Structure 1
Amino acid sequence: MAYRLTQYAHGGGCACKIPPGELEEVVSGLTAAPPFEAAGELLVGLDDGDDAAAVRLDGERAVIATTDFFTPVVDDPYDWGRIAAANALSDVYAMGGQPLVAVNLLCWPRETLPFELAAETLRGGLDVCGGAGCHLAGGHSVDDPEPKYGLAVTGTAHPDRLLRNDTGRAGLPLSLTKPLGLGVLNARHKATAERFEEAIEVMTTLNDTASRAAVAAGITCATDVTGFGLLGHLHKLARASGVTAVVDAAAVPYVAGARESLREGFVPGGSRRNLDWVRPHAELSRVDEDTALLLADAQTSGGLLLAGEVPGAPVIGELVPRRDDGRTVVVR
């Protein structure tokens, strides 16, 4: 029997994340200093919605901690495992770090799907971690009505060379290291079972090379583009940095077939929620609704968004002084 994993979940990949506006309300009161003496200095926490937490151990070392897991984004379990692992590791790369060790997070409907599929999912995660030079050791599993998979990852970085949301400044270019449109194509895959090889290649490609290039270039401001879409992550970065991001819509790259799939109605609910959330903070009058939706498309294992330039990444805009009307994102 052939199993289509995407049919066993209500959403897929990072498109199933809690909407950003709702999430910010949930965590808004969780940033107070702890009433105890903590080991190490917390460098990055919840304040600006960065991709991972970072704690200084000493003058040369910071530990980075993150976790990410989601429902199937593709039907093939091995590919799903690879995508989920690459996506989880990306949070460490987005902070300028190197993953050191990860543990599996597996939720499985044990009476519905055979464990052979779970084994293939775990094998995909293991292969990606091996390619990243990251140990994958153990983890945790639960019986769950929906299949879910991901990793909890620990990495290291130099505490003075972290990539973070709040260090952007006016005059810096904006670069994007992977094309958009993954959410749209994943929605089409879920509905039709069509396989999109370029999308799988993009989602399983690590952000390690771009991360190292960014740190080497002296870049300090970055994030990865995942479930909140380019516009959502850019809004958070610009808001934290006190600037406005100007995006050249014509310069933004897309995965082949994304625009056509959007016109045919394949849009994740998460992408629409992203656009609704960011619209009050953005100037979008110069682009049509389809373009706005693609710019807000919920990505899974997307690229890095950098306030600076690295080889091979197109420049898609720039940071400018915060506009008088308070808009954080302008699309032209």
Structure 2
Amino acid sequence: MTIRLTQYAHGGGCACKIPPGELESVVGGLTGARPVNAAGELLVGLDAGDDAAAVRISGGTALIATTDFFTPVVDDPYDWGRIAAANALSDVYAMGGTPVVAVNLLGWPREVLPFELAAEVLHGGLDVCGEAGCHLAGGHSVDSPEPQYGLAVTGTADPDRLLRNDSGRPGVPLTLTKPLGIGVLNSRHKATGERFEHAIATMTTLNRDASVAALAAGAVCATDVTGFGLLGHLHKLARASGVTARIDPAAVPYLDGAREALRDGYVSGGTRRNLDWVRPHADLSRTTETEALLLADAQTSGGLLVAGELPGHPVIGELVSRSDHTVVAG
């Protein structure tokens, strides 16, 4: 019997994130706290909602720490492990860092799904960490009602060359390094079992090269595009930087089949919540509702959104002086 992992979870991938508005209300009171006798200087914390935490330690090094895990986004356990690992490592790349070591985070319904599948998930994570040059050692597991997998990752970076989401400035172009449409294709996969090899290839591609290219281009501001969609991550970046992000929807690349999946109704609840969250802060009057949903599509292991121009990747807009909105589409 073929076991479809996506049928054992209520959501899939980064689309199962807690809605951004709800999340911000929960963590809003956690900023500003300082530990006693701290071992390093906190460079990036909760304040701007960045991709990872960064601490300056002795030796002129920034330590980057992040974690990410989610329910199955595809049915194949090995592919799910690869996707989840690439997605977790992405937070380090999004800040201009190099992942050094990671540990597994595994939730498994042990009386429902065979552990042989869990082993395949873990092997997928191991192989992607190996590709990234990142040690994967140990971790933690729990008996969980739904399967969940991801990594806690530690990396390093130059503290004076971090990519941050609060460093955007007017007049700088915006570059996107992976096409959108992962969310609607994954929703179609969950509903129908259709397998989209190009979507899997996109999700398992590391953001390492894009991060290196961003640093080489002198970029100082970036984020990755995951569960809050392009619009959500643009809103967070523009809000943190005190600018407005103006994008050209016609310049945004999409995976083959994404528009057809949206047309056929394969839209996750996470995508609709993303759009509801951003809409009060965005000017979407010059784009259609269909286009707005695609721009809000909840991505899993998406690309980097860089304030700067990267050779070989499309420029989709620019940062301008702050107006009444954080995001303007069209």
TM interval, shorter chain, is over 0.9
Structure 1 residues 286-297: aligned runs within 5 Å: 286-297=286-297
Structure 1 residue 329 corresponds to structure 2 residue 321:
no
Moved over 2 A (4+): none
Structure 1 residue 97 corresponds to structure 2 residue 97:
yes
% identical aligned pairs: 81
Question: Could you give the per-residue CA deviations for residues 269-289 of structure 1, whole angstroms, max 9, x where no partner exists?
Answer: 000000000000000011111
TM-score normalised according to structure 1 size: 0.99
Which amino acid in structure 2 is aligned with residue 329 of structure 1? V
- Cα deviation for residue 216 of structure 1 reads 1.5
Quick one: distance in 2 between partners of 1:50 and 1:191? Answer: 32
Q: Secondary structure of the equivalent of 1:167?
A: coil
- Cα deviation for residue 35 of structure 1 reads 4.8
Quick one: distance in 2 between partners of 1:56 and 1:164? Answer: 14
Quick one: distance in 1 between partners of 2:142 and 2:35? Answer: 32
Could you tell me whether the CA contact under 8 Å between 1:65 and 1:153 is conserved in 2?
Answer: yes
Could you tell me whether the CA contact under 8 Å between 1:59 and 1:159 is conserved in 2?
Answer: no
Match of 1:61 in 2: 61
Structure 1 residue 142 corresponds to structure 2 residue 142:
yes
- Cα deviation for residue 253 of structure 1 reads 0.2
- Cα deviation for residue 58 of structure 1 reads 3.4
Which deviates more from structure 2 when the two are superposed, residues 269-278 or residues 28-37? 28-37
Match of 1:209 in 2: 209
Q: Which runs of 5 or more residues in structure 2 are unaligned?
A: none
TM-score normalised according to structure 2 size: 0.99
Match of 1:166 in 2: 166
Structure 1 residue 299 corresponds to structure 2 residue 302:
no
Q: 1:35 to 1:148 in 2, by over 3 A?
A: closer
Quick one: distance in 2 between partners of 1:116 and 1:257? Answer: 33
Give the length in aligned residue pairs.
Answer: 330
Match of 2:189 in 1: 189
Match of 1:11 in 2: 11
Match of 1:47 in 2: 47
- Cα deviation for residue 59 of structure 1 reads 5.8
Question: Could you give the per-residue CA deviations for residues 141-163 of structure 1, whole angstroms, max 9, x where no partner exists?
Answer: 00001000000000000000000
Q: Which runs of 5 or more residues in structure 1 are unaligned?
A: none
Which amino acid in structure 2 is aligned with residue 156 of structure 1? T
- Cα deviation for residue 36 of structure 1 reads 1.1
Quick one: distance in 1 between partners of 2:55 and 2:173? Answer: 28
Match of 1:219 in 2: 219
Match of 1:175 in 2: 175
Backbone CA RMSD of aligned residues: 0.7
Which amino acid in structure 1 is aligned with residue 105 of structure 2? L
Question: Could you give the per-residue CA deviations for residues 32-91 of structure 1, whole angstroms, max 9, x where no partner exists?
Answer: 232512111000000000000000013631000000000000000000000000000000
Question: Could you give the per-residue CA deviations for residues 276-316 of structure 1, whole angstroms, max 9, x where no partner exists?
Answer: 00000000011111100000000000000000011211000
Quick one: distance in 1 between partners of 2:236 and 2:57? Answer: 27
Quick one: distance in 2 between partners of 1:272 and 1:297? Answer: 8
Question: Could you give the per-residue CA deviations for residues 212-263 of structure 1, whole angstroms, max 9, x where no partner exists?
Answer: 1111111000000000000000000000000000000000000100000100
Quick one: distance in 2 between partners of 1:33 and 1:40? Answer: 14
Question: Could you give the per-residue CA deviations for residues 167-198 of structure 1, whole angstroms, max 9, x where no partner exists?
Answer: 00000000000000100000000000000011
Match of 1:233 in 2: 233
